[in-house]
Amino acid sequence: MGFGDYPAEYKPQVHGPYDPARYYGKPDTPLGQVKLGELGSWFGRRNYSPRAMTAATSRAFWRWNHKYILPKKSNMAGTLHVLFGLSLFFYVINYPRISTHRIMRYH
Amino acid sequence: MLSRFVMQHALTKQSPMIVLARGAALLPTSDKHPERDLVNFPRPKRLIDPEPVRHTCIPERWFEFFYPRLGVTGPYTFTFGLITYLLSKEIWVVEHDFGYVMASVIIVGLGHKLFGKQLANYLDKEIAAEEEQDDAARNDKLASLKGAIENELWNQERSKAQAVLYEAKRENIQMQLEAVFRERALFAYQQVKNRLEYQAALESIQRRISQKHMVSWVVSHVLKSITPDQDKQSIKKCISDLKALAARA
């Protein structure tokens, strides 16, 4: 599997046209339905390789894209997500400098 | 001739519809593939309306997430509580750029309130026009392909009629051959008849000439054999006969 290839689990004859928002591997329990006790083992089962992380980010991006940008009558929400997301991102990367502007000293 | 024969057979053997259907089934992403799982992996469809949101950009799902835990006001309580916490602990620092947050929220809110509907209507119209254009191109292509398929099927029907046409042509040629044969037979008959008539005429002329010759030969010999005495005697006899006749008349 090189750059630009489909995931190894994707089989066109079974899955049909490729959906970049979809995970084609064996699905685990969704994070929202995991019991607190099983959380450790759930995170233990995750794949932290750079490739898997990139794929997960890409899927998340495509899920968001399908929901907010690509619909026929898409509204301002997607654009605002990008705007506020960028604001937040730059706030975070500039945080070391911004945090020096704190006024209060004793809390 | 052979190529035409081969093509005719190929056309009658497999219809283009069958070939097309088979080709579509062989595509790896076809829904007709025997291994295709349409229950767990249905064809992805483009949404018409985006995911529902509240306050222009906050996903409705987040409010639904809070509803069973904190009630209707839960998300607002949580958000304002969190903001208050961040502000009071100065995790969210109020520095000189803080005003821009307020300004942008107000500008976006006002813009949405004042021009949102108009902009949405205008853009919907634009999208509808664009879609219509795309659909028109696609439908034209589909119609032309359908026409091509119909034409192809019609040509196949016509190719079936070729057999009848060939039969008719063959019969026509047989008829022409028969006509020429009869014409030539008549010609031969007439030629033979002419020759035979010529032979018959030739024979009759020869017979006539020889007869004439024979008659003249006999007459000349008879005339030669008559002596002057005999001539005189006959003239005398003639005169006496004439006299006798005259006496009687």
User: pLDDT digits over A83-92, tens only?
Assistant: 889 989 999 9
**What value does the CA radius of gyration of chain A take, rounded to a whole number of Å?**
19
A93 in reach of chain B (CB within 8 A) = no
Domain ranges of chain A: 13-103
**Among partner residues B37, B56, B127, which is closest to A14 by beta-carbon distance?**
B37
Q: At what angle do helices B74-88 and B60-70 cross, to 10 degrees?
A: 100
Contact B42, B32 (CB under 8 A): no
Is any Cβ of chain B less than 8 angstroms from the Cβ of A19? yes
Kindly state whether B101 is in contact with chain A, defined as any CB-CB distance less than 8 angstroms.
Answer: yes
**Can you tell me whether residue B93 is helix, strand or coil?**
coil
Predicted local confidence at residue B236, as pLDDT: 92
Q: Concatenate the DSSP letters of all residues of B23-52 into one string.
A: HHHHSTT-TT-TT--TTTSPPP---SSPPP
Residue A105 has pLDDT above 80, yes or no: no
Q: Beta strand pairing status for B53-54 and B58-59?
A: antiparallel
Which of B29, B35, B57 shows the shortest C-beta gap to A81? B57
Using DSSP, how many helices (H) and how many strands (E) does chain A show? 5, 0
Q: How many Å lie between the alpha carbon of B12 and the closest alpha carbon of chain A? A: 32
- Low-confidence stretches of chain B (pLDDT < 70) are 1-26
Whole-number pLDDT of residue B145: 96
pLDDT at position B23 is 61
Q: Out of A2-6, A19-23, B47-51, B143-147, which region has the weakest mean confidence (pLDDT)?
A: A2-6
Residues in chain B within 8 Å Cβ distance of A11: 35
Q: Is the model's pTM score more than 0.80?
A: no
User: Is the model's pLDDT at A8 over the cut of 70?
Assistant: yes
* Interchain pair B47, A71: CB under 8 A: yes
* Alpha-carbon gap, residue A23 to B214, rounded angstroms: 133
Task: Give the model confidence (pLDDT) of A36-60 as tens digits.
Answer: 888 889 888 888 988 889 889 999 9
Q: Does A97 touch chain B (CB under 8 A)?
A: no
